Structure 1
């Protein structure tokens, strides 16, 4: 089985819409955000062709980050061979890899990362990536370092004030 890093490249891009606008628009029927942080998982089809596969938008809100706008283009699977599809599935999928990358990239910059999720499949992927239920409907939390209960409630209230994101 091929190593995931041989064909899936996850990175932050400065300007997301040219790379992922078509993916975001297909899912949300709206233009992709032009602000914030754009994490993209690309499928490396060949040395000179990278196909945008999955996207997660991260917004810096000071002590918290918001992860939203998650979208995946399943059509990218058509470019992959069976071994690559199997390896990606075993790794959790492009969405999970994009979330994990964002968690690692932004963990030192905030106290918590929140995700707002109404889709059962995305909820499960979020849990697999490292989110946990926040105790609030549709709101997930990733805590890079331990938080006391009072501080977590304060941060969760702040995240709730941005819904939907």
Structure 2
């Protein structure tokens, strides 16, 4: 189950800390994927979307392998068959923000993350880590200006 939470800190923090060793973002849109573990629903994956001009930034993707390990074999198989938790979160996020965003930018240097994002329509830009998924193709001048503004942010 994927959902957006206005304040995800208490649920996202343990997953984010484990992956990045830093506090989870307090800003933006917080997407959490909940996994059924026996009678409980536990947060198994986190993803952040943040507005930037007329686009979105995607980042902070992380999954808690301990939650996956607690799931039943059938639950684990369902996650694998669905392409994994990150894929489900990205698909949800892209559908959620497509109408209000010209595109979504990411900063990706991880091959595993790239394999998921490529399935969702992301493409690489001239920068070695900057990627985008266009919802609409802005005029060339507007596209160049937007890409420059995102690149100027550095890793996010």
Relative to the length of structure 2, the TM-score reads 0.91
Q: Which ranges of structure 1 fall in alignment gaps of 5 or more residues?
A: 1-8
Contact 2:15 2:63 in 1 (8 A): yes
Contact 2:124 2:131 in 1 (8 A): yes
Give the Cα–Cα distance (whole angstroms) in 2 for the partners of residues 150 and 84 of structure 1.
47
Contact 2:38 2:72 in 1 (8 A): no
Give the Cα–Cα distance (whole angstroms) in 2 for the partners of residues 38 and 133 of structure 1.
24
- In structure 1, what is the equivalent of residue 25 of structure 2? 33
Query: How many residue pairs are counted as aligned between the two chains?
Result: 156
The offset of 1:122, in angstroms, is 0.9
1:99 aligns with 2:90: yes
* CA-based RMSD: 1.5
Contact 1:92 1:128 in 2 (8 A): no
1:77 aligns with 2:68: yes
The offset of 1:148, in angstroms, is 4.0
Give the Cα–Cα distance (whole angstroms) in 1 for the partners of residues 54 and 145 of structure 2.
11
SS of the residue 1:24 aligns to? helix
Q: Which ranges of structure 2 fall in alignment gaps of 5 or more residues?
A: none
Counterpart pick for 2:45 among 30, 38, 54: 54
Relative to the length of structure 1, the TM-score reads 0.87
